[in-house]
Amino acid sequence: MDSSALNSRTVVVVGAGIVGLSIALRLQLEGYEVKVIDKLEPMEGCSAGNAGYFSEANIFPPATPDLLGQLPRLLMSRDGPLVIRPSYIGKMLPWSLRAVSVLKPQPYARVMGALASLIIKSQDSISQLAREANAGHLLTRDGGLHVYKNLGSFKVKQQSLSLWKEHGVSAEVLSGDESRAMEPALASDIIGGIYFPNSGRCSDPKELGMHYFRYLMASGATFIKSAFQRVERSGTGRLEVVHSSGRIGAMKVVMAAGYATSQMLKQYGYTNALVSERGYHLMISHPEVYLGRPVVFGEAYFAATPMDHGLRLAGTAEFCRADALPNMKRAYMLQRLAKQYLPGLSAVTSEPWMGVRPSLPDGLPAIGQVKDEPGLFYAFGHAHNGLTTSAITAHCVAALVDSREPPVDMEPFDYCRFG
């Protein structure tokens, strides 16, 4: 291949989390020369601590009617799943107004349809990508179980059954006894559950990304550990990524750096609609209970996922500055709450973690081409669906880069929707 042809197939991916690495791997598999840049080591950001649950149920925007009704109680609860630090309220107000505006019937249906279009295709995409990187052993598809202790909460959640069915998501209502038959470690006062037979899990999210990274490097990709600064364009249309250690030339650039991406796009006139939604997990190496699949605790709003190295309790939402000191009490709280659902749980050996989810008010990620900037693309804002939709996002971005028809309608994911 001559140098001009090689240059025309050179893509720089900014971001080495699961979304960025998935995009880089997909592009490499399609014949592109790939360079990845990140100020951190690969998989050191939010995606490393993912709950590992490929949830088909998660097709709803952040603001749902049942959640809004419980919002005062959730915010006031010491052990509640939702915290907004006072210093962040000014940032949250415009985000919240946008989130509530999605409750109108037409935008609500539009968001669900768009999310479902990604999620229904997500596991096939991630299985394909993982196989290419010799990481298929990290994925299973044994379903996911959401369980409830409170009859009111259980009935409210069942109101979503018709919406799941409408969008191609299989869901089965179980009694308490049926739930315990599936997961014997569950407490005797679990009154029922909803089983999602087509959901799956990743037994080590960080290792999945590292498999991608090692495959990329072994196949000729380049990794530059450096802080992104900006993209410049030459008179010939060539792009240059300027970073703290120098410059990288490319014909196309994909910005997929999670929470930092929105700031990168400000130079192109985009409104910053992103907030920092921090999540915590507690990794328990010897939990003394066995689960065969991810289990979501309905009233507590978080999940327990069996991992290669123990049980991961992950979830909750803390809205505050991305760089604020973590409150690891939020992680240890998960063990206390989980024990109400898994009475045999032990957390003698446990390790807390915190990461910053990039969250947009309608719950949809931003995936597309920068307006009026040929060759410049973005993919970020996946919130709770980052790992789940990483590979289908990569398929979409690769199609855009290659000027092909993407596997889903991209219009709902255009970041211009926020101005």
The CATH number of residue 319's host domain is 3.30.9.10
359, 376, 409 - which closes a domain: 359
Query: Do both 174 and 261 map to the same domain?
Result: no
Give the pair of three-digit tokens for residue 326.
């973590």
Query: Do both 210 and 334 map to the same domain?
Result: no
Report the DSSP beta bridge partners of residue 312: 283, 305
- Residue ranges of alpha helices (H) inside 145-268 are 151-158, 161-166, 176-182, 205-218, 261-264
Give the model's pLDDT for residue 6: 38
Measured CA to CA, the distance from residue 87 to residue 355 in angstroms comes to: 19
Short-list 212, 216, 248, 218, CA closest to 230: 248
Residue 129 maps to a domain: no
Residue 133 maps to a domain: no
Query: Do both 231 and 300 map to the same domain?
Result: no
**CATH classification of the domain holding 225:** 3.50.50.60
Query: Do both 150 and 185 map to the same domain?
Result: yes
Query: Do both 290 and 407 map to the same domain?
Result: no
359, 380, 405 - which closes a domain: 359
Query: Do both 315 and 166 map to the same domain?
Result: yes
Give the model's pLDDT for residue 4: 39
Query: Do both 144 and 92 map to the same domain?
Result: yes
Residue 378 maps to a domain: yes
Kindly list the distances between the CA atom of residue 414 and the CA atoms of 96, 270, 398, in Å, as whole numbers in the listed order: 19, 11, 16
311, 344, 359 - which closes a domain: 359
Q: How many C-beta atoms surround the C-beta of residue 216 within 10 A?
A: 25
Query: Do both 288 and 176 map to the same domain?
Result: yes
Residue 379 maps to a domain: yes
Query: Do both 245 and 331 map to the same domain?
Result: no
Query: Do both 146 and 20 map to the same domain?
Result: no
Measured CA to CA, the distance from residue 307 to residue 287 in angstroms comes to: 11
Residue 115 maps to a domain: no
Chain segment 342-371, per-residue pLDDT in tens = 999 998 889 999 999 999 999 999 999 999
Distant-in-sequence, close-in-space partners of 306: CB < 8 Å, separation ≥ 6? 201, 203, 290, 291, 292, 293, 294, 312
Chain segment 15-60, per-residue pLDDT in tens = 999 999 999 999 999 999 999 999 999 999 888 999 999 999 999 9
What single letter denotes the amino acid at residue 80?
G
Query: Do both 252 and 383 map to the same domain?
Result: yes
Measured CA to CA, the distance from residue 367 to residue 399 in angstroms comes to: 12
Residue 35 maps to a domain: yes
Query: Do both 298 and 341 map to the same domain?
Result: yes
Give the model's pLDDT for residue 11: 97
Residue 125 maps to a domain: no
Strand residue runs (E) in 293-413: 295-297, 302-307, 310-319, 350-359, 366-369, 376-380
User: What number of residues does the chain have?
Assistant: 419
The pLDDT tens digits along the chain (419 residues) read 333 333 578 999 999 999 999 999 999 999 999 999 999 999 998 889 999 999 999 999 988 766 666 666 666 677 778 889 999 999 999 999 999 999 899 999 999 999 999 999 999 999 999 999 999 999 999 999 999 999 999 999 999 999 999 999 999 999 999 999 999 999 999 999 999 999 999 999 999 999 999 999 999 999 999 999 999 988 777 899 999 999 999 999 999 999 999 999 998 999 999 999 999 999 999 999 999 999 999 999 999 999 999 999 998 899 999 999 999 999 999 999 999 999 999 988 899 999 999 999 999 999 999 999 999 999 999 999 999 999 999 999 999 999 999 999 999 999 999 98
Q: Quote the domain boundaries for residue 248.
A: 3-47+206-270+363-418
Residue with structure tokens 């206390």?
336
What's the domain count of the chain?
2
pTM (2 d.p.): 0.95
Give the pair of three-digit tokens for residue 204.
């080590």
- Check if the beta carbon of residue 24 is closer than 8 Å to that of residue 18: no
Give the model's pLDDT for residue 296: 98
Residue 220 maps to a domain: yes
Q: Which secondary structure element, helix H or strand E, spans residue 114, and what is its range? A: helix 105-132
Measured CA to CA, the distance from residue 37 to residue 366 in angstroms comes to: 20
Report the DSSP beta bridge partners of residue 343: none
Pairing type for strands 310-319 and 302-307 reads: antiparallel
Short-list 259, 238, 242, CA closest to 250: 238
- Check if the beta carbon of residue 377 is closer than 8 Å to that of residue 410: no
Q: How many C-beta atoms surround the C-beta of residue 324 within 10 A?
A: 15
Burial of 78 (0-12, 13-18, 19+ CB in 10 A): exposed
